[in-house]
Chain A
């Protein structure tokens, strides 16, 4: 892998305001090349999701960034102004958050929530409409969903709506934060299929966050292992079987009964 990195995270440290406890994210660094798929695994509560929020710079107080740089194509996102940051979000970095159930606005139709992307990708309504239909087709979503409200859709469908949004935005860097949480095995497979199609189409680099090593292995050739807010191991998926891996990695592998 000699390509110049598309995205680089450097020394990210996140603390909680008003407490002296140790950082929630402790000096995390990694980089991604154009089109690279990187997996981030770790047990629940180790700081995976917080990392994804921090990269988008939408941390919720009392969490705050103590130090770190997030460089997308040579530009540190954290130093940008509000308007510039907004331009990076969406087409630069997009994030599919976990719990699609609450990620879609309950009182807006799917169509309304898809159409508003037209302001971001700078296309007129008709053109966006066409792209939406194409995206829905690719994600195997029925067109009639467009007129419906999120509560009409199943969890897997909502997740695929989010992926259709990614198809519209074509972000250079996509974060998928536990996209299959709470889905049954069959739906999970559908969502992952859709995701692979989407990634192929958008050519995005992807940070895939999950606690499930089987899924991560399927999507990502490279892996990071996180424990208590620190990156404790880096490897390729083929190296996972080696017995000299870090303790956390071994634990996760053993628990999953794979490798």
Chain B
């Protein structure tokens, strides 16, 4: 296990470095001189000499590779610059906004997994045509409805028609119910479809035929033989879904007026707050990367037969 983790970490380093380069060069290569833009924003009248001086002060006259290294070192010290809009340090901004977004995405993931198992297993195993068709129809609707529209529909039902909640939110925990529902319904449908397809694919394998021939209980075949086979790809999918939910949080935070990272990033897009955007990209990338990493570890643990295949023992006969 330990050697696997170490090996996996070693392969992660180039990717992480690549990610940081992407983040850095995205800012560095953005058209427009950052110093001039900053001065214009402040409304300062400036001369070319002043610009050059400032460039020197910020180290912008250095070769780009040197600048990348300096930036990387500052990054490792968690110095990610300042938000132009708020004047606070980017790290401060993250500390305020990150918990909400993470909670939102994690709870949505949990609910999606639950719902998708419900959809997927029902759709794959039911012999009732009515139920099967209903599940399929429901899932295709859910996959096709944009999440922002679903959110608006939910708001229409629960805030405008039933008046159970306030449109503006109340600041209490139950403000999260509708956002979580919005995020999970869509991803649960996608995941449920994947689960159904996987179950059906596994059910056409020879070893399922043997399990049936043995006279095993269907419940045992499902939870033991089928789940054992479909879980690894599902775990990988959960990590991918987590990334999508982090992205989706931008939309629901906007609609439900939640002060999360997504709202902060959207604000940064409008205000062209590059430092915040860069940090947002790297942070979300890192979280997503970590979730994939955890999924890999889980899969390593779930597939003992692949684990040992790397050390070729072969047949004993």
Q: Do chains A and B touch in the complex (CB under 8 A)?
A: yes
Does A103 contact B228, Cβ atoms closer than 8 Å? no
Q: Which residues on B sit within 8 Å (CB–CB) of A105?
A: 207, 211, 225, 228-229
Please judge, given known A-B contacts A107-B228, A107-B305, A149-B305, whether A117 and B210 are in contact too, CB under 8 Å: no
A sample of 13 inter-chain contacts (CB < 8 A) reads A103-B206, A105-B228, A106-B229, A108-B228, A116-B216, A116-B224, A149-B304, A151-B309, A152-B313, A152-B314, A153-B316, A154-B317, A157-B316
Q: Which residues on B sit within 8 Å (CB–CB) of A97?
A: 206, 209-210, 213
Of A87, A103, A119, A149, the contact of B210 (CB 8 Å cutoff):
A103
Does A152 contact B206, Cβ atoms closer than 8 Å? no
Of B209, B211, B225, B315, the contact of A153 (CB 8 Å cutoff):
B315
Does B209 contact A58, Cβ atoms closer than 8 Å? yes
Q: Does B22 contact A (CB under 8 A)?
A: no
Cβ < 8 Å to A, chain B residues 296-317? 302-305, 308-309, 313-317
Does B215 contact A86, Cβ atoms closer than 8 Å? yes
Q: Which residues on A sit within 8 Å (CB–CB) of B215?
A: 86-92, 94, 120, 169
Q: Which residues on B sit within 8 Å (CB–CB) of A92?
A: 215
Q: Does A165 contact B (CB under 8 A)?
A: yes
Q: Does B217 contact A (CB under 8 A)?
A: yes
Q: Which residues on B sit within 8 Å (CB–CB) of A243?
A: none
Does B209 contact A152, Cβ atoms closer than 8 Å? no
Q: Does B95 contact A (CB under 8 A)?
A: no
**Count of residues in B whose CB is under 8 Å from the partner chain:** 30
Residues of B within 8 A of A (CB): 204-207, 209-218, 220, 224-225, 228-229, 302-305, 308-309, 313-317
Q: What's the minimum C-beta distance from A61 to chain B, rounded to whole angstroms?
A: 10
Of A95, A104, A145, A156, the contact of B213 (CB 8 Å cutoff):
A95
Does A104 contact B308, Cβ atoms closer than 8 Å? no
Q: Which residues on A sit within 8 Å (CB–CB) of B308?
A: 149, 152
Q: Does A102 contact B (CB under 8 A)?
A: yes
Most buried by A among B214, B304, B317: B214
Please judge, given known A-B contacts A108-B225, A152-B316, whether A119 and B216 are in contact too, CB under 8 Å: yes
Most buried by B among A90, A93, A106, A117: A106
Nearest A residue to B211 by beta-carbon distance?
A: A105
Interface string of A75-103 (1 = CB under 8 A from B): 00000001000111111111101010011
Q: Which residues on B sit within 8 Å (CB–CB) of A162?
A: 210
Q: Which residues on A sit within 8 Å (CB–CB) of B211?
A: 105
Residues of A within 8 A of B (CB): 53, 56, 58, 60, 82, 86-95, 97, 99, 102-108, 116-117, 119-120, 142, 145, 149-154, 156-157, 162, 165, 169
Nearest A residue to B215 by beta-carbon distance?
A: A90
Nearest B residue to A152 by beta-carbon distance?
A: B313
Nearest B residue to A150 by beta-carbon distance?
A: B305
Of B212, B217, B228, B305, the contact of A58 (CB 8 Å cutoff):
B212
A69–B241 Cα gap in the complex (Å)? 49
A176–B315 Cα gap in the complex (Å)? 24
Q: Which residues on B sit within 8 Å (CB–CB) of A60?
A: 204
A153–B314 Cα gap in the complex (Å)? 7
Q: Which residues on A sit within 8 Å (CB–CB) of B229?
A: 105-107
Q: What's the minimum C-beta distance from A201 to chain B, rounded to whole angstroms?
A: 18
Most buried by A among B205, B212, B215: B215
Nearest B residue to A105 by beta-carbon distance?
A: B207
Please judge, given known A-B contacts A88-B215, A149-B305, A151-B309, whether A104 and B210 are in contact too, CB under 8 Å: yes
Does B305 contact A106, Cβ atoms closer than 8 Å? yes
A108–B308 Cα gap in the complex (Å)? 13
A90–B221 Cα gap in the complex (Å)? 14
Q: What's the minimum C-beta distance from B263 to chain A, rounded to whole angstroms?
A: 44
Q: Which residues on B sit within 8 Å (CB–CB) of A53?
A: 209
Please judge, given known A-B contacts A119-B217, A165-B214, whether A142 and B304 are in contact too, CB under 8 Å: no
